[in-house]
Amino acid sequence: MSAPLLAIRDLTMRFGGLLAIDCVSFDVAPGAVTALIGPNGAGKTTLFNCLTGFYRPTAGNLILDTGGARRELAGLTGHRIARLGIARTFQNIRLFPRMTVLENLMVAQHTALMRASVFSIAGLLSLASYRRAEKEAIDRARYWLDRVGLLSRANAEAGSLAYGQQRRLEIVRALCTEPRLLCLDEPAAGLNATESGELARFLRGLTTELGIAVLLIEHDMSVVMGVSDRIVVLDYGRKIAEGTPAEIRADKAVIAAYLGEPAAAVA
Amino acid sequence: MAAQRLIDAAKAAGITAIMGFALIGLELIDQPGGETLASRWQTLAAAVAIVFLGCLALSAIPAIRVRPLHRASPIFASAGRALPWTLVAFALLLPALPIANRGVIDAATEILIYVMLGWGLNIVTGLAGLLDLGYVAFFAIGAYTYAILATQIGLSFWACVPIAAAMASAAGLLIGFPVLRLRGDYFAIVTLGFGQIVRIVINNWRSLTNGSQGIAGVPRPSFFGLADFTASPTSGHRTFHELFGIAYSPMQRVIFLYYVALALALAVNLFTLRIRRLPIGHAWEALREDEIACQALGIDRRRVKLAAFAIGAAWGGVAGALFPAKQQGFVSPESFGFMESAMITAIVVLGGMGSQLGIVLAALILVGLPELFREFEQYRMLAFGLSMILIMRFRPRGLVSTRRPSVVLE
Amino acid sequence: MAYFLQQLINGLTLGAIYGLIAIGYTMVYGVIGMINFAHGELYMIGAFVGLIGILALGSIGIVAVPVVLLLALLLATVTAGLYGWAVERLVYRPLRSAPRLAPLISAIGLSITLQQYVQLTQGGRVKTLAPMISGEITLMRDASGFAVSLSLLQIVVFVLTILLMTALTLVIRGTDLGRAQRAAASDPVMAALCGIDVDRTISTTFIIGAALAAVAGVMVVLYYGVIDFFIGFLAGLKAFTAAVLGGIGSIPGALLGGLFLGLVESLWAGYADAAYKDVGAYAILMLVLIIRPSGILGRPEIEKV
């Protein structure tokens, strides 16, 4: 197996007396879909927050392969981690509701555009170099909007979109940052069967065509089983299983965690 | 049904009676030796009666439906494009209009300064969503920078404007750096404190600022360094009316100042309109909408907030440089108190966060109206406070609540 | 040394007054998560009503100090309590679901409105009261003859503060009020579903806070003998500093913060430039918010994503 894109080693997160994540280790392979599943409260979103810099891990390592070097993520601030190529979406959609769909995607390309605007001076003077960068950004936005069928809503206020559209917008907004790793927190929540199917196809497209790695928290098992290359199962903050979808489906510990101990429960 | 309404109204009236007993029913009369009391029971009775009848009237009218927050008022939506240009045209032509006497132009200049301050604060509060209650501090720093440099070193207005902007901006960076990571409420109070500190320091640093007596004799802007607006020439300078071969009139200086203010105000406006389209402007608005999402997109919140704060402060400094000239060449710490800060904040929030037009309208209403109703001068602040409460109650997003997108896909 | 002790005593007295006002801030924040910017004006109203009450009682022949004090306090606390109730009911309650900035702006408008209300009804000039409670106990005298004394009035302030703190703690622990406040603060909807009258809890909190501020106001009338319609602004800001210093949401913290602030201000005025003593309070506020925003007795907040 090739070197992992992200190596999580002995990650631990403690909130006062509560141990939310207990010594969790696994790898996220490049260009593949890794799913993180487990009952509610297992620590999945907490892991995301540690990974993306919203929480500072109590202990452990998060090592990202940035193509040129291997960087330790634990302890870095959130925006720095985002700039290293890790993008995420949120459990409760976080768009910029009063800005348009297009503007949302422009914000995502902030870093590149800021560099081109040279302390906003090139921007204020409307120099050709800045105008070029702006056009590129708009084209990129157009590409992604077209790919998820939101092009017709480009100038609508993000807050006015339907739920499913907002989810799609949040995902392509994350993609506009040109990430190596896309972390999705329950992207299928609230989607019907058709929309979930489209989401699954979309995610597979990301990995096969564009080589973007995806780390996915999800409860919808049809999506998980259909799309994942690898699944990691958490329960009460600990990793209880890891493997291919087929392996996980048959894993006794996983079944017990989701459904309870079979014999004891009935008796 | 009616009985219940009567009981409710009676309860309200009763509460009013108790609340007003001391403060309305009795009155403190200032005597040389202390205070004495006089009674004002008629006034109290009137207040109670008004509350009673008012409650009855309100309960008789069907409930007022508060318009949903995200829908814009039809008046402003359709006026949209025409109104700003009309206002600019009116502003440009004002001195030529028949109603334009000295008082009117002075008032207009004052409104322009407030509009400039509003637009400057708009960058901090309207775009970036940072509630700065101490913005007046930058105004003060700009004003005093010009006053001190002009009276002590003799620098001209035009040389001082960038310096005033730089000083204010530096103050913004200094205070912003530790304070910008604070949450909304706390940030507001701390900036309020900062505004007060600046005023206290100005008041007490007598050697530099002449303390509460203020600085007088601050020179007015010259005609771009070429001529002064005096009746007779001062040493080595030409006079404006000589330069243009016309008779001297004190109005010339007043009108020139008005146009300088107008030009600077339009400069802020153009700057803001342009910067909204740039990545920093987008980042500011995104920060206002959702900071967490910004962080996840790689935006350094701290730096972006600092930029808003410093740039907004710079424009406040520019407005400040203009102030002493408008005040007959005089500046004192009195002009930079809490009320002024509240006024500028009110203009931005009441105008509609981020809306340039809304701020102009709010400034016209909050600063212009009281000028018209001078007889009611003593009720001015009361009306101001009440209008803030009422507008937040019924139109929390301000007068102009639509937002025009800064970039559009064809 | 003696001078220092005197400043200490004076500082604690001032601090007790700040603490009483600060408790109102912290209680309201604890239950609705909002800073009542206009709280300082409730203190100012309490001061005015207290002054008026004292004069009114005098004009009908009641001059016995304990009686006048009690009745004036009663009048001030009831009146200010009603203002606090009205403020919550009319200004803050309709804005509970509004965007964050709206209650804050309203509060500023409210603060201005109340100031102007008192200015228009009672006049903008300073109001004075001849000292009513005189007499002091000399604690010690140092070599240079400087006497450290504890005035009767200062004793009254301390006693009153202790009594009120005790009463408040008993009310909050003994009755359901404290629990209801914490529940309403955590999750108002859930609290309501559990049968807690959230509106009543919030109203009660405002009333109690206002009443305590009113007591502080009456104390200020007696202690300093000088008030005007603008005292609420400065005192409000300082009391807010005290509340934050002690840990916003913590009642003992508010009192502690107040005492600390009073001490700092008194010592600063005594040993450094008195003109800048207010700067000291602001500086403390900023330092606390920057270094330890949760204050002395508060718990650090974790940003939930």
Find the closest chain A residue to B292 by CA distance: A94
Give Rg (Cα) of chain C: 20
State the CATH number of the domain containing residue B202. Answer: 1.10.3470
* Domain containing residue B182: 102-225+251-394
Does B86 reside within a domain?
no
Name residue A212's amino acid.
Answer: I
**Domain shared by B111 and B51, yes or no:** no
Taking CB atoms and an 8 Å cutoff, what residues of chain A touch B403?
98-99
**Domain shared by B53 and B155, yes or no:** no
**Domain shared by B30 and B122, yes or no:** no
- Interface list for C 263-302 with A (CB within 8 A): 302
| Per-residue b or e along B254-265, where b marks 16 or more CB atoms closer than 10 Å to that residue's CB | bbbbbbbbbebb
- Which pLDDT does position B235 carry in this prediction? 67
CB contact (8 A) between residue B289 and residue A142: no
Q: For all residues of chain A together, what is the average pLDDT?
A: 89
CB count in 10 Å sphere of residue C303: 10
Question: Which residues touch C226 (CB under 8 Å, ≥6 apart)?
Answer: C126, C127, C128, C129
pLDDT tens-digit profile of B47-74? Answer: 999 999 888 888 777 665 555 444 445 5
CA distance C197 to B272: 48
CA angle centred on C163, ends C159 and C168, rounded to 5°: 150
Q: For all residues of chain B together, what is the average pLDDT?
A: 85
- Which pLDDT does position B69 carry in this prediction? 45
Does B133 reside within a domain?
yes
Host H or E run for residue B219: none
Q: List residues of B whose CB lies inside 8 A of any A CB.
A: 70, 271, 274-275, 277-280, 282-283, 285-286, 289-290, 292-301, 403, 405-409
CA distance C85 to C208: 9
- Which pLDDT does position B106 carry in this prediction? 87
**Whose structure tokens read 């100038």?**
A155
Chains with 3 or more CB pairs under 8 A to chain A: B, C
Evaluate whether A36 touches A215 at the Cβ level (below 8 Å).
yes
CA distance B369 to B375: 12
Q: Is the dihedral of CA C173, C179, C180, C184 positive or negative?
A: positive
State how far the alpha carbon of B353 is from the alpha carbons of A49, A157, B145, B160, B362, in Å. Answer: 32, 16, 30, 31, 11
- Which pLDDT does position A262 carry in this prediction? 53
Does B8 reside within a domain?
yes
**Domain shared by B9 and B140, yes or no:** no
Question: Residue C285: phi, psi to the nearest 5?
Answer: -55, -50
**Domain shared by B285 and B142, yes or no:** yes
For chain C, first and last CA: distance in Å?
53
Which stretches of chain C are DSSP H helices? 2-32, 39-59, 65-87, 101-122, 152-174, 177-186, 188-193, 198-224, 231-246, 251-271, 277-291
CA angle centred on A172, ends A168 and A175, rounded to 5°: 150
CA distance C220 to B266: 49
CA distance B108 to B110: 5
Does B246 reside within a domain?
no
Mean of the pLDDT values across residues A134-159?
93
CA distance A238 to B36: 76
pLDDT tens-digit profile of B17-54? Answer: 999 998 888 888 887 777 888 888 888 999 999 999 88
Does B144 reside within a domain?
yes
CA distance A149 to A146: 5
Taking CB atoms and an 8 Å cutoff, what residues of chain A touch C305?
45, 49, 54-55, 90
CA distance C41 to C110: 9
The pLDDT of residue A101 is above 90: yes
User: If you ran DSSP here, which 8-state letter would residue A15 be given?
Assistant: E
**Domain shared by B106 and B50, yes or no:** no
Q: A127, A4, A143, A117: which is closest to A61 by C-alpha?
A: A4
Evaluate whether C52 touches C127 at the Cβ level (below 8 Å).
no
- Which pLDDT does position B71 carry in this prediction? 47
CA distance B337 to C298: 32
**Whose structure tokens read 């009254």?**
C156
**Domain shared by B118 and B190, yes or no:** yes
Q: Which of C130, C286, C293 sits opposite B34 (nearest CB)?
A: C130
**Domain shared by B8 and B110, yes or no:** no
Question: Residue C144: phi, psi to the nearest 5?
Answer: -80, 5
- Which pLDDT does position C72 carry in this prediction? 93
Mean of the pLDDT values across residues A47-59?
92
- Which pLDDT does position A115 carry in this prediction? 87
Does B243 reside within a domain?
no
Split at pLDDT 50, 70, 90, the class of B77 is low
**Domain shared by B183 and B56, yes or no:** no
CB contact (8 A) between residue A54 and residue C305: yes
Q: Give me the number of domains chain B comprises.
A: 2
pLDDT tens-digit profile of A179-190? Answer: 999 999 999 998
Q: Does A14 touch chain C (CB under 8 A)?
A: no
- Which pLDDT does position A259 carry in this prediction? 67
Evaluate whether C232 touches C247 at the Cβ level (below 8 Å).
no
CA distance C241 to C254: 9
CA distance B229 to B214: 23
Taking CB atoms and an 8 Å cutoff, what residues of chain A touch B274?
123-124
CB contact (8 A) between residue B389 and residue C98: no
Percent of chain C with pLDDT over 90: 36
Q: B140, B98, B133: which is closest to B341 by C-alpha?
A: B133
- Which pLDDT does position A62 carry in this prediction? 92
- Which pLDDT does position C303 carry in this prediction? 57
Taking CB atoms and an 8 Å cutoff, what residues of chain B touch C103?
392
**Domain shared by B28 and B120, yes or no:** no
The pLDDT of residue A51 is above 80: yes
- Average the pLDDT over each of A98-102, B368-372, C131-135, C164-168 and give the range with the smallest value: B368-372
Taking CB atoms and an 8 Å cutoff, what residues of chain B touch C95?
392-393, 396
For residue A254, give how far its alpha carbon lies from the nearest alpha carbon of chain B (Å): 31
For residue B410, give how far its alpha carbon lies from the nearest alpha carbon of chain C (Å): 33
Say if strands A33-37 and A213-217 run parallel, antiparallel, or are unpaired. Answer: parallel
**Ranges under pLDDT 50 in chain C:** none
Question: Residue B332: phi, psi to the nearest 5?
Answer: -145, 160
Name the packing angle between helices B184-204 and C231-246 (round to 10°): 130
Say if strands A230-235 and A33-37 run parallel, antiparallel, or are unpaired. Answer: parallel
Name the packing angle between helices A101-108 and A128-147 (round to 10°): 120
Task: Report how far Cα B82 is from the mean position of its chain's Cα atoms.
Answer: 24
- Which pLDDT does position B75 carry in this prediction? 52
CB contact (8 A) between residue A15 and residue C303: no
- Which pLDDT does position A182 carry in this prediction? 95
Q: B283, B307, B270: which is closest to A99 by C-alpha?
A: B283
Taking CB atoms and an 8 Å cutoff, what residues of chain B touch C59?
36-37
CA distance A257 to A123: 55
pLDDT tens-digit profile of C83-108? Answer: 999 999 999 998 887 777 788 889 98
Does B341 reside within a domain?
yes
pLDDT tens-digit profile of A183-233? Answer: 999 999 989 989 999 999 999 999 998 889 999 999 888 899 889 999 999
Does B199 reside within a domain?
yes
User: If you ran DSSP here, which 8-state letter would residue B331 be given?
Assistant: B
Name residue B24's amino acid.
Answer: I
B interface mutation test: which of C49, C59, C82, C286 has the most B CBs within 10 A? C286
Q: C87, C299, C48: which is closest to C203 by C-alpha?
A: C87
- Which pLDDT does position B371 carry in this prediction? 73
Helix (H, G, I), strand (E, B) or coil at C89: helix
Q: Does A96 touch chain B (CB under 8 A)?
A: yes
**Domain shared by B111 and B56, yes or no:** no
Q: A251, B11, B237, A124: which is closest to C85 by C-alpha?
A: B11
Which stretches of A101-162 are DSSP H helices? 101-108, 110-117, 121-124, 128-147
- The percent helix, strand, coil of chain A (3-state, each to 5) is 45, 25, 35
- Average the pLDDT over each of B143-147, B206-210, C166-170 and give the range with the smallest value: B206-210
For residue A20, give how far its alpha carbon lies from the nearest alpha carbon of chain C (Å): 14
Quote the tokens at residue C17: 């007054």
Host H or E run for residue A36: strand A33-37
Question: Residue B72: phi, psi to the nearest 5?
Answer: -80, 155
- Interface list for C 199-258 with B (CB within 8 A): 233, 237, 240, 244
Higher pLDDT, A265 or B192: B192
- Which pLDDT does position B399 carry in this prediction? 81
Mean of the pLDDT values across residues B199-215?
86
Question: Residue A232: phi, psi to the nearest 5?
Answer: -115, 130
User: If you ran DSSP here, which 8-state letter would residue B211 be given?
Assistant: G
CA distance C245 to C257: 5
Evaluate whether A12 touches A21 at the Cβ level (below 8 Å).
yes
**Domain shared by B196 and B300, yes or no:** yes
pLDDT tens-digit profile of B219-250? Answer: 888 777 777 777 677 666 777 777 777 777 77
**Phi and psi based region of residue C107 (left: phi greater than 0; alpha: psi -120 to 50; beta: remaining):** alpha
